[in-house]
Amino acid sequence: MELNPAMKHNYQNLQEFLAELEKAGELQRIKAPVSRELEITQITDLASKSPGGGKALLFERVVDSPFPVLTNAFGSERRICMALGVRDLDTLAERLRSFIGMEPPKSLRDSLRLLPLGLELLRFLPRTVKRAPCQEVVLTGEQIDLSKLPVLKCWPQDGGPFITLPVVITRSLETRRRNAGMYRLQVFDGRTTGMHWHIHKDGSHYFQEYRKRRKRMPVAVAIGTDPATTYAATAPLPRGIDEMILAGFIRRKPVPMVRCLTVDLEVPAEAEFILEGYVDPNDLRIEGPFGDHTGYYSLIGEYPVFHVTAVTHKKDPVYAATIVGRPPMEDCYLARATERIFLPLLNAVMPEIRNFWMPWEGVFHNITVISIEKEYPGHARRVMSAMWGQGQMSFCKALVLLDSEVDLSTPRKVLETLLNEVDLESDLYVSEGVLDVLDHSAPEPLFGGKLGLDATRRLPDEKNRRGASEPLPIPSRTLIEQSLHEISEFLTAFHVPPLNVKNRLLLVSFRKDGSVAGRNLADRLLNHEMLKPFSIVILYDVSIDLTDASLTLWKLFNNVDTKRDLIRAGNRMVVDATKKGPEDEHHRPWPDDIVMDPAIVERVELRANELGIQGFVAPTAWKE
């Protein structure tokens, strides 16, 4: 696919990208003064949840800071494509596929065929420069004061202000290979932050190397890099692969790097801000809570402390931040890019995979839908096992397998196909394995239930699914209400999603008071005659709007441990998607949903005209 000749393919730095966004009508300047504590978050959240992701926001006057703040820069289909210099994300995937599929030369003459590709590969490698814009201003010693940066406190229960869009650069003590990852930093005081390395991430792996040798670990943090470099820091590359090479591939030119002034590392020369420093393996501090991309607060924990030895920046820098929370948010579009770009890499290992999709409500690690070209009996199970052994895909809680002809870009069609094809008795594969550190549903951290659903067609040598008879007629609302009341006074409301499927859904509100677990109601729900037209009954907390499809899917994907919360009887089942407690044999803390302070919501609504965000706020919510 040819690129749009009018589109810019790469950007020297973040501010060049900003200029291009403004030219394209994709940037909104907020000229009124705003607070970095909660107010910027509320405005950005409104933009993120506007149709199509709203616009990128540049807050020009941040209270108590001389620096402007940029948010939502990647938060739409158009902006993520502009950031990566492509008309659509599949274009970048095809470029990657051309390198992966490159055949080795069969002769010296044939090797000339690869010369252009080889020369292009050399253009991806980062290059070192001696002078850099990121070091136009240098602050060391007593001059360092992180409070001068407009670091955001994003959500009411956050443990403090967090740097949310950093490119954290480290180097392996053993291999000397570089890692550039995105790990949040809670600002503790003027010279220290937390370093939130998840246990499964490369930065944490390198940290353990230094810890074993009792050595300080040099660390550098770049804030506000060119968009390709920012994206590359989020990408799930195999350990040891330099993210700067991926950034160079996306940019079609090298990322210029410059040596730090106080630590032995190199950083992107065109970054807006650089924090240099070190992590002492013996210095740990409580970090969190933090309103995370799951839509919940991640819990407090002990993490290494990053000691800042220098702050450098451009003369007129822009501070880049992202807001995460209940989807859709800006990070959904970064994940969408990963989904498209990494399909060719997945195909290199499993060529039978035709496509895959990570629903936003699954927050990237709870569910993945995969279409395959099925070739033999048990093929779907093999793909499930292989996917659970692939890098960060190993943390995925649920995998859904469909045939290659199913269009994964139409979510309703995907859901209807699944509910029409799946046999709940034979097609569910319940297992257990490693989970993402942010998963809160499992009884134990980092390990819990996994679920595979095989909705692919049966091949001649496979056992046929049980012949599905026509579903029984749906009872009247009155009869359903009476039936639920007969089962338990705690079942207070219901909704039947309007889906034309064989395996019908019944969503039920469950008023929990700590005395009854969902599984204790399962037998009665499954055996009640009036509820037999429903194959799947899903229990939700009473605060959940059962008619909100996105909300109910988000709760389903996040709140269910598949070994504990799925109760099956033949070809029917009950799923408990409620908040768990001791009555459910769940004894570790359950995080709160992220909810903005009502006073901040009201303040932003009242200031809508002043801020120029009338289009983000529903008119009925405005106050006189």
Alpha-carbon torsion angle 457, 461, 465, 469, nearest 10: 90
pLDDT in tens, 531-551: 999 999 999 999 999 999 999
Q: Pick the closest to residue 612 from 30, 139, 171 (CA basis).
A: 30
Give the mean model confidence (pLDDT) for residues 344-372: 93
Query: Is 128 strand, coil or helix?
Result: strand
DSSP state of 152: B
CA 271 centroid distance within chain: 24
CA distance 406 to 413: 8
Q: CA 398 to CA 377: how far, in whole Å? A: 21
Q: Is the pLDDT of residue 188 over 90?
A: yes
Using the 8-state DSSP alphabet, how is residue 617 labeled?
S
Quote the crossing angle between the two packed helices 89-100 and 330-341, to the nearest 10°.
30
Quick check: helix, strand or coil at residue 531?
helix
CB-based burial label for 394 (10 Å; 0-12, 13-18, 19+): middle
pLDDT digits (tens, 9 = 90+) for 208-229: 999 999 999 999 999 999 999 9
Confidence of residue 103 (pLDDT cuts 50, 70, 90): low
The Cα–Cα gap between 256 and 267 comes to 8
Indicate the pLDDT class of residue 201, thresholds 50, 70 and 90: confident
Query: Do 350-454 and 477-584 have matching folds?
Result: yes
Cα–Cα distance, 336 to 89 (Å, whole number): 9
Question: Which fold, 477-584?
Answer: UbiD C-terminal domain-like (3.40.1670)
3-state secondary structure at position 601: helix
* Residue 292 appears among annotated catalytic residues: yes
Binning pLDDT at 50, 70 and 90, where does residue 99 land? low
pLDDT at residue 110 above 60? no
| Residue labelled with tokens 């970048």 | 92
For 209-236, give the DSSP string. HHHHTT--EEEEEEES--HHHHHHHHS-
505-510/536-541 β-pairing: parallel
Strands 217-223 and 273-287: antiparallel
pLDDT of residue 237: 85
Local structure of residue 100 (DSSP, 8 states): H
Query: Quick one: angle between helices 227-234 and 243-251, nearest 10?
Result: 140
Q: Which candidate in 242, 292, 436, 584 is catalytic?
A: 292
Which DSSP string do the residues of 505-524 spell out, in sequence order? EEEEEE---SS--HHHHHHH
8 A C-beta contact, residue 173 and residue 203: no
The sign of the CA dihedral 59, 60, 65, 69 is positive
Exposed / middle / buried, residue 508 (Cβ in 10 Å: 0-12, 13-18, 19+): buried
The first and second tokens of residue 245, run together, are: 């090479």
DSSP category for residue 260: -
Model confidence band, residue 467 (pLDDT cutoffs 50, 70, 90): low
At 305, the amino acid letter reads V
CATH class of 1-102+113-348: mainly beta
Q: Which fold has domain 350-454?
A: UbiD C-terminal domain-like (3.40.1670)
Decide if 401 contacts 456 (C-beta within 8 A): yes
**Is pLDDT above 70 for 624?**
no
Domain boundaries in the chain?
Answer: 1-102+113-348, 350-454, 477-584
Q: Which of 208, 231, 152, 218 shows the shortest CA–CA distance to 185?
A: 152
Beta strand ranges found along 44-113 (DSSP E): 56-59, 69-71
CA dist 295 and 558 (Å) reads: 9
pLDDT in tens, 124-175: 889 999 999 999 999 999 999 999 999 999 999 999 999 999 999 999 999 9
The percent of residues above 70 in pLDDT, for the chain, comes to: 93
Of the candidates 26, 10, 28, which has an alpha carbon nearest to the alpha carbon of residue 77?
Answer: 26
